[in-house]
Amino acid sequence: MKQVPYARRLLPLVGLLLLSGTLALKAAPADTQPIVFVPQWEPQAQFAGYYVAVEKGFYTRSGLTVTILRGGPNQPVGRLLQEGQADFATTFLASALEKRSRDGLPLVNIAQMVQRSSLLLVARKSSGIHSPADLQGKTVSLWPDFAVQPKALFRKFGVEPRVLTQGATINLFLRGAVDAASGMWYNEYHMLINGGLEAQDLTFFFYDQFGLNFPEDGIYCLAPTLKQNPDRCRRFVQASIAGWQYAFQHPEEALDIVMRQVTAANRPTNRVHQRWMLSRMKDIMQPPGAPAFGTLAESDYSRVAQELKDAGQINAIPAWNDFYENCAISIPTNQPGR
């Protein structure tokens, strides 16, 4: 795919800035390289490290002027990358594999940030659901974009629940319209507990506990972006990792930064929930025994790709070395890029 020169991207980018909101340093050295980055969702602590990297100057000290667009359903990362309106983005590993294998978008993972899956199913114990086998015949709501793991769980235990489409909220479950629902450990789990439900009255199925760990947020770009300037990709990744490390070491300062973004975007949340989210992000980004920060293990990649293929979501599995480039590690300056 032909790269769009930065100057030609200014007009559509101005529209994005006005419509979606951004985060960028007010004044940056003239010799820094401009970068546009978009996370896959609205501002929240799920992306704290990137906001921190901007405000604390980690990107600037790496020679980059980074603008962060506001993500979400109206700003699909695949389209923004394809149209040249963003240079880097985050998305789930499974989503990126689908976009590359099924849709032909030449996505490359340059840093796997989240190592442990946070996706889960939640059910009330009063519904008689205590193990995956108890889901047989029950009504379960699934997010269409994240249905591979639950369906793999159903196949693994030989159950056939009645599946409904779940929207952006967990209201169907709260109203008793479904027996089990999808959620994220850093998000819906906390909402349920804060909403008055007791953890001991609920059954949680964490997919990573059933051999179905799908690493989630990674940093992606298009293959031509990596090929044309691998050093810039490495600098962006390593400054992003520095932002996350600082956020975990200084959580209250990081939350100050996150809440400024949340307030500007008029997001319905609060600091208590964002504090929970930031803590859980540390748990899933740096779980015990995980590979080095930013590393995608080939075994994890193969597991996710094979489940997608078995589910008919993709027809072919891209070669791991073509799909992944570890930009979290430094290389000698005389080593050629891919």
Mean pLDDT for 30-45 is 89
pLDDT for res 241: 97
Q: Do the beta carbons of residue 82 and residue 105 sit within 8 Å?
A: yes
Q: Which residue ranges form the domains of the chain, and what is each CATH number? A: 6-115+215-323 (3.40.190.10), 119-210 (3.40.190.10)
176: left (phi over 0), alpha (psi -120 to 50) or beta: left
Mean pLDDT for 180-191 is 94
- Which residues, 6 or more positions from 161, have their beta carbon under 8 angstroms from its beta carbon? 135, 136, 137, 138, 139, 140, 154, 179, 180
- Joined tokens for residue 84: 């040249």
pLDDT tops 60 at residue 337 = no
β-strands 88-92, 202-206: how paired?
Answer: unpaired
CA dist 165 → 99, 139, 180, 306 (Å): 21, 11, 12, 24
Query: Which amino acid, residue 13?
Result: L
pLDDT tops 80 at residue 226 = yes
The pLDDT tens digits of the residues spanning 83-141 come to 999 999 999 999 999 999 988 999 999 999 999 999 999 999 999 999 999 999 999 99
pLDDT tops 60 at residue 8 = no
pLDDT for res 123: 97
Rounded to two decimals, the pTM is 0.87
